[in-house]
């Protein structure tokens, strides 16, 4: 007994030394053979993998079940700016560490929330290309993590979804702009705004009327407070759909109520927790066009940014890039960012990028022309 406790403490201390030594930006040079071997056993260079097939059963079902209980975070686990992925990790639909492969994310958002397959591919591979580790095929849903393994050389990021400016952006519902505060943790002040608006226009629930007003208020705040506020492609696209995700995915599949209970919403947003007995929706959805249209039409919006001073919001004439379709512009933007992060990739890295670019193209293939930056 005594011996085994001693041994555990020693093992923990060793694990700690290893954790400190292996920041993903460090090279492995200088480590002992044992340390390098230990690290290599935990993260492998696997490169790009084919996208998983769609799930077969898309019926309504219990997802906060005995096999997926909520568990509190332990010290080495992390969560990030996305309440959906956070909840999936805290219920074990994704690895509880918060580090996952893109394939695991695609499958988990379908299993846990019945997100439609093509939407799952689009969002996941967009994020993975710019925030994931393309060599080890792992991404943190939060901040930089040694669990994703040694990163490709800069300017590649591989630093997880908390990374500002590539996917994560300004004017989020419940998270601060990166320039103004913590860009990925739940913010009580901002959540109180959601409550106030939902009480005023949603009858005490977060319905599309509330979503529309919260979206507008957060937009106005960023214009007035954030000199570098950026609200063009891709943020112009993601910022709207994220406001309807809670209505589409966090309302129990058995409910016919068009608004989300605010305590349930808080538990998802603050604690990464599904309500007891939570059932996913009964039909796959990408984020409901009707509700999205309502939010976008409720106020006048143009894609644009502040020019370095507050209240200088100006239209971005380049928001469509070389495209004429907004979805294809979004696609082009993420391909462009990938090119900026990987100016001249070679070998395994180049293959991995190309495989993931192919996966990213699948959901837009009926509308857009594929771009091949690394032929």
Residues that bind ligand NAG (CB under 6 A): 162, 164, 176, 178, 181-184, 187, 189-190, 202-203, 207-209, 233, 258-259, 307-309, 312, 318, 321-322, 329, 332-333, 336
Q: Which is nearer to ligand NAG, 42 or 312 (CB)?
A: 312
Q: Which is nearer to ligand NAG, 79 or 91 (CB)?
A: 79
Residue 305 in the binding site for ligand HEM (CB under 6 A): no
339-356 burial string, b = 16+ CB within 10 Å, else e?
eebbeebeeebbebbbbb
Out of 115, 158, 330, 352, the residue judged to bind ligand HEM by CB under 6 A:
115
Site string for ligand HEM, 74-93 (x = CB under 6 A): -------xxxxx--------
CB-CB neighbours of 193 under 10 Å: 17
The least distance separating ligand NAG from the CB of residue 232, rounded to whole angstroms, comes to: 9
The least distance separating ligand NAG from the CB of residue 148, rounded to whole angstroms, comes to: 17
Residue 334 in the binding site for ligand HEM (CB under 6 A): no
Q: Which is nearer to ligand NAG, 63 or 190 (CB)?
A: 190
Site string for ligand HEM, 264-303 (x = CB under 6 A): ----------------------------------------
Q: Which is nearer to ligand HEM, 170 or 332 (CB)?
A: 170
The least distance separating ligand NAG from the CB of residue 166, rounded to whole angstroms, comes to: 10
Q: Which is nearer to ligand NAG, 103 or 321 (CB)?
A: 321
Q: Which is nearer to ligand NAG, 93 or 249 (CB)?
A: 249
E strand residue ranges, the chain: 99-100, 139-140, 205-206, 230-231, 260-261, 304-305, 314-315
Residue 240 in the binding site for ligand HEM (CB under 6 A): no
The least distance separating ligand NAG from the CB of residue 56, rounded to whole angstroms, comes to: 34
* Number of residues written out for the chain: 375
**Phi first, then psi: what are they for 140, rounded to 5°?**
-85, 135
Q: Which is nearer to ligand HEM, 22 or 81 (CB)?
A: 81
8-state DSSP, 30 = T
Out of 202, 234, 246, 363, the residue judged to bind ligand HEM by CB under 6 A:
246
* Binding positions for ligand HEM, 130-169, rule CB under 6 A: 161, 167-169
Q: Which is nearer to ligand NAG, 64 or 233 (CB)?
A: 233
Residue 251 in the binding site for ligand HEM (CB under 6 A): no
Question: Among ligand HEM, ligand NAG, none, what binds residue 127 when CB lies within 5 to 8 Å by partner kind?
Answer: ligand HEM
Residue 116 in the binding site for ligand HEM (CB under 6 A): no
The residues of the shown chain that bind ligand HEM, judged by CB under 6 A, are 81-85, 105, 109, 113, 115, 120, 123-124, 127, 161, 167-169, 172-175, 238, 242, 245-246, 249
């Amino acid at each position: 007994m005594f011996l085994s406790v001693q041994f555990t403490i020693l093992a923990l201390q060793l694990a700690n030394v290893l954790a400190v030594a292996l920041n993903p930006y460090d090279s492995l040079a200088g480590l002992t053979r044992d340390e390098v071997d230990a690290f290599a056993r935990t993260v492998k260079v696997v490169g790009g993998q084919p996208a998983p097939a769609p799930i077969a059963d898309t019926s309504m079902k219990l997802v906060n079940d005995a096999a997926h209980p909520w568990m509190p975070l332990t010290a080495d686990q992390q969560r990030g700016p996305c309440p959906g992925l956070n909840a999936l990790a805290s219920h074990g639909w994704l690895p509880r560490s918060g580090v996952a492969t893109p394939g695991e994310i695609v499958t988990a958002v379908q299993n846990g929330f019945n997100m439609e397959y093509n939407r799952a591919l689009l969002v996941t591979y967009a994020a993975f290309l710019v925030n994931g580790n393309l060599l080890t095929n792992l991404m943190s849903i939060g901040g930089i993590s040694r669990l994703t393994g040694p990163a490709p050389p800069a300017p590649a990021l591989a630093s997880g979804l908390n990374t500002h400016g590539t996917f994560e952006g300004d004017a989020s519902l419940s998270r601060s702009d990166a320039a103004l505060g913590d860009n990925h943790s739940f913010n009580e002040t901002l959540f109180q705004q959601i409550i106030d608006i939902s009480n005023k226009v949603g009858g005490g629930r977060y319905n599309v009327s509330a979503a529309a007003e919260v979206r507008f208020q957060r937009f106005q705040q960023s214009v007035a407070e954030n000199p570098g506020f950026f609200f063009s492609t891709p943020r112009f696209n993601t910022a709207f759909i994220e406001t309807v995700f809670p209505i589409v995915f966090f309302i129990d599949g058995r409910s016919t109520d068009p608004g989300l209970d605010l305590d349930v919403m808080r538990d998802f947003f603050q604690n990464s927790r599904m309500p007891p007995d939570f059932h996913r929706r009964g039909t796959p959805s990408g984020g409901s066009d009707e509700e999205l249209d309502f939010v976008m039409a409720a106020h006048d919006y143009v894609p644009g940014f502040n020019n370095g001073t507050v209240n200088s919001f100006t239209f971005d004439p380049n928001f469509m890039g070389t495209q004429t379709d907004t979805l294809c512009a979004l696609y082009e933007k993420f391909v462009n960012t990938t090119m900026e992060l990987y100016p001249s990739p070679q070998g395994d890295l180049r293959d991995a990028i190309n495989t993931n670019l192919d996966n990213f193209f699948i959901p837009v293939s009926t509308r857009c022309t594929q771009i091949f930056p690394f032929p």
